A = this chain, B = another copy of it.
Amino acid sequence: MFNILVCDDDREIVEAIEIYLAQEGYHVLKAYDGIEALEQMRKNEIHLLIIDVMMPRLDGIRATLKIREENSLPIIILSAKSEDADKILGLNIGADDYVAKPFNPLELVARVKSQLRRYTKLGSLAEESAKIYRNGGLELDDDRKEVTVDGQPVKLTPIEYNILLLLMRNQGKVFSIHQIYESIWNEEAYGAENTVAVHIRHIREKIEINPKEPRYLKVVWGIGYKMEKAGDGN
């Protein structure tokens, strides 16, 4: 059974989360600030951490950084400001997922499940950390956050990087603009069609020799975009 540490200075939120997680058969441990979280981590074997950003004494971001120094476990960060998503996921910090407050408890539970599934399936994180995706001359190293085209390093912005990562992780699979937006921004796509399209354009300018005839990042008319697998001549 999995032990999940929930850390938030609002006790009601912690209890609410506990109820939902307990329903799913998880064992819940509680902490009410970053210091307590660190203590709990030392004392118990924790399999997943849910932690709020804003807390007294030691906030969630700092706590996460501290914990990452010596532990590898899935960390889900709660935050009131959805704009922080990039920073948090952009992995300066090392969180695995991000949920905006106020959140739907079921969604949180879904993400917990998803993270646990991911970590257990791939064994320990160590195995997973060789995260290098290749496709023809295009290479993305998710440990170093580096992208190269035919050996030449390419500099992508965080959003561009995350979009490319999504597509490289699922080569051949088609993603709608809607899916891309929701996956990267973690919020409902509204009038964001062009936004994504522009980022696609920028990525193409950087990874394609001729953006007008993309070798890798192709459009699927009326549906979305995909990463074309090299040697799929069609």
A interface list, Cβ under 8 A from B: 20, 23-24, 70-74, 96-97, 104-107, 109-111, 114, 117-127, 143-145, 153, 157-159, 161, 166, 169-170, 172-175, 179, 183, 220-223, 226, 234
12 contacts between A and B (CB under 8 A): A23-B71, A73-B106, A74-B106, A96-B106, A117-B126, A121-B183, A122-B175, A123-B166, A127-B170, A144-B226, A145-B174, A161-B223
Contact between A170 and B123, CB atoms less than 8 A apart: yes
Contact between A145 and B220, CB atoms less than 8 A apart: yes
- CA gap between A82 and B175 in the complex, in Å: 36
- CA gap between A202 and B184 in the complex, in Å: 33
Contact between A72 and B109, CB atoms less than 8 A apart: yes
A28 to chain B, nearest CB (A): 14
Contact of A173 (CB < 8 Å), options: B24, B117, B127? B127
A68 to chain B, nearest CB (A): 9
Contact of A23 (CB < 8 Å), options: B70, B175, B223? B70
Contact of A174 (CB < 8 Å), options: B114, B125, B143, B170? B143
- CA gap between A170 and B124 in the complex, in Å: 9
- CA gap between A125 and B114 in the complex, in Å: 6
Chain B, residue nearest A16 (CB): B91
Give the residues in chain B near A107, CB-CB below 8 Å.
118-119
Give the residues in chain B near A179, CB-CB below 8 Å.
122
Give the residues in chain B near A23, CB-CB below 8 Å.
70-72
- CA gap between A118 and B104 in the complex, in Å: 10
Contact between B110 and A157, CB atoms less than 8 A apart: no
Give the residues in chain B near A126, CB-CB below 8 Å.
117-118, 121
Give the residues in chain B near A73, CB-CB below 8 Å.
106
- Please give me the 7 A-B residue pairs with the lowest Cβ-Cβ distance, nearest first: A158-B222, A110-B119, A145-B174, A114-B125, A123-B166, A143-B173, A123-B183
